[in-house]
Amino acid sequence: MTETDTPKLAKKPHWTSLEIGLITITSLFFIVIVVLIILFATQSDKICTTADCTRSASRLIENMDATMDPCDNFYQYACGGWLKKNIIPEAHTKYGLYNILNANLDVILKGVLEKKVEREAAALTKAKILYKSCMNINLIEQKRGAPLLDMLPDIFEWPMAVDNWEDNYGKTWRLEDVIARLNWKYGIQVLVNFIIRADDRDSTSHIIYFDQQMSFGLLSRNIYSCKGRFAKACRAYEQFMFDLAKLIRTDRGLKIDETGLRAEVTRVVDLEKDIATATDSAQKRDPVLLYNKMELRSMNTISTFEIDSQKFNWSYYTAKIMDTVKITVPESEKIINYSPYYYRKLKTILAKYTKRDVQNYVVWPFVMQMVGGLSRAYRNTRNAFLKVLTGKTAEDALWRRCALYVNSYLDKAVGRLYVQEAFSDNSKELMEEMIKDIREVFISNLDNLSWMDEETKKAAEEKAQAIRERIGYSDDIMNDEYLNDEYKDLSYSAEEYFKNILQNLEYVQKKHLQKLRKKVNKDEWLFGAAVINAFYSANLNEIVFPAGILQPPFFNKGQPKSLNYGGIGMVIGHEITHGFDSKGRHFDKDGNLKAWWTPESTRKFLELSRCIANQYSSFSWDLANGLHLNGNKTLEENIADNGGIRQAYQAYKKFVKRNGEESPLPGIDLSHDQLFFLNFGQIWCGSYRPQQAVNSVKMDIHSPGMFRVLGSLQNLPEFAKAFKCNKNSNMVSDNVCRVW
């Protein structure tokens, strides 16, 4: 267009009033549509549509039941969808998120253990040979029970499964010899629990502990009442022992006196019942009461039980164990007697039984454990019992059992394979940031605790600051030389699974025994990488988050931080709080048993703890025949849950203040505060078989998942605020319990 060019004006048309009205309406409609499109586009830009966000939203929606009122029963709201569409697999006694994650992890382990690599560290090859031997099912079936039968003479035989025991073994039998060998060679702790670990009052040194027997065939001492709901389990247990002894006698070509054998089985179960009843689970919760330090020789005067006039010699027993690792233990050796009461009771109990009864009993836990490495005919005797005890109706797939087994004994080698296959080191940086945030929240909350005096607060802050964290895996496992040296004493055969099992038992136990004269290595990783769990150690004042747990829904670098804080953030807070629960609070910042609390702060802590214990004891569980939870048994875990969820939420709110609000998730009309709690709730989605529900109430130190959610959120006003719950809602407690 030049300067002289002028635009020509179009002739203005003539519009009627009707036309003008239509044009105006059409224009307005067009404008509204444009505005809505702009608003929608603007809003769409705010929604997180990444793959991680989309997957997270899909999972949350699929697992929840949005028709439920979150203020009425948040567990059903969070997990109702999951509960409707998931059934418990036959090989499981309970089934939840942990089981699903473990199943996925097992698939990864199967892949790496079956993968052929041209050149790799010798330790990795050993792990694969061990796996292959476990998978060699045809050879295992061919051998039936022979591997077990061949080595029973090594532990003075199982009297009910052999003829003429008194003449062939009884004359030279000595209880110390049997249980010492079961300890150092097979890792079986029966009657006497002999362990070596850090001295509670000097966490840099190892010391010998004598403790009560910790595990029993019927799982919990309560079941040994054999009354009511437990009668069937007791009958199944006796039948298991009877069937197994009968099978061994048959394979040995021995005659079977069923009446006599049943009487003998009954004697063994009666003895086990007496021993289980003598144990004291309540005392185990107070490390101060447990700590009874004395010279070894003192045990010979304090704990004087005997069998057939043979007095148990503690010095001789200890020497039989420690001589195997060439360590001399004098009678002046300092030891810790964790269970004086139990050992006094043993004197009365064992006086009622013959050495044949006792030998039948002490060999039984070993026989029961070793069944897993034998043919199906032997395993079926145990499977029938487990079906009654736990409701489990089938074994896991062979490959899964084998992957779990290899991971449990060669955890460093398997951890290396897992990390190489499935773990990203990018996770460590974000985890470190979250731990820092949650630790700071815990420390800042100390200022607001009116029940704790300044002296104790200062010591608590020092301890919290001193907690060390371990994330993912130890760098050592990526070093071939280190890994090969770790397993240099192991040599497996792909054709000898049972012998491989025995070798592992001895290897692990001797490694523990060899620590007695060594300083505690506080830099050592005590857990493998391929583990879906987290840990706190009081003696080390350390929290551990293995690589296995650093995955959705607990954690994912790409998912919203609200989900990370509601998932792994809660776990971080949980583990930190363990350092200050009713057990952990007794240990100082260096991991030593020490009275660092003032009497007044201790009194108030115990008072607040009782509130939580009473709250959880008030929960009854329909699935467990209406049994009430034991709030005292689960107290430490409940304190940790309550502290963990509060700290994680506060840390998330600080993150938002620092970084701004996160973009909404697609398709789910919930704020990120609400999503924080939803992800927390869904971590505990799960189902139990009725038998396992009863077992869980009786013996688990954790509350069932449903009550872990309900109990902790009822004590958190921030939850009620996020979901706008009124004060009369079930999720709002009339008596809020809070310790940390």
Cβ atoms 547, 418 nearer than 8 A: yes
Residue 546's DSSP bridge partners are 472
* CA-closest candidate to residue 389, choices 608, 229, 503: 229
Residue 636 among the catalytic residues? no
**Distance in angstroms (rounded) separating the CA atoms of residues 373 and 294:** 40
* CA-closest candidate to residue 467, choices 647, 311, 687: 647
The tokens describing 112, both together, are 């790496």
**Distance in angstroms (rounded) separating the CA atoms of residues 159 and 264:** 9
Cβ atoms 733, 714 nearer than 8 A: yes
3-state helix, strand and coil shares in percent for the chain, rounded to the nearest 5:
60, 5, 35
State the catalytic residue, choosing from 272, 575, 588, 662: 575
**Distance in angstroms (rounded) separating the CA atoms of residues 239 and 218:** 13
**DSSP one-letter string for 142-191:** HHTTHHHHHHGGGGT--GGGSS-HIIIIITT--HHHHHHHHHHHH----S
Q: Are strands 620-621 and 627-628 parallel, antiparallel or unpaired?
A: antiparallel
State the catalytic residue, choosing from 243, 641, 662, 673: 641
Burial letters for 187-224: b for 16+ Cβ neighbours within 10 Å, e otherwise?
bbbbbbbbbbbbbbeebeebbbbbbbbeebbbbbbbbb
Residue 207's DSSP bridge partners are 197
Which residue's entry shows tokens 């079961």? 182
Which residue's entry shows tokens 């999972």? 59
Residue 357 among the catalytic residues? no
Q: Report the amino acid identity of residue 665.
A: L
Task: Please list the active-site residues.
Answer: 575, 641
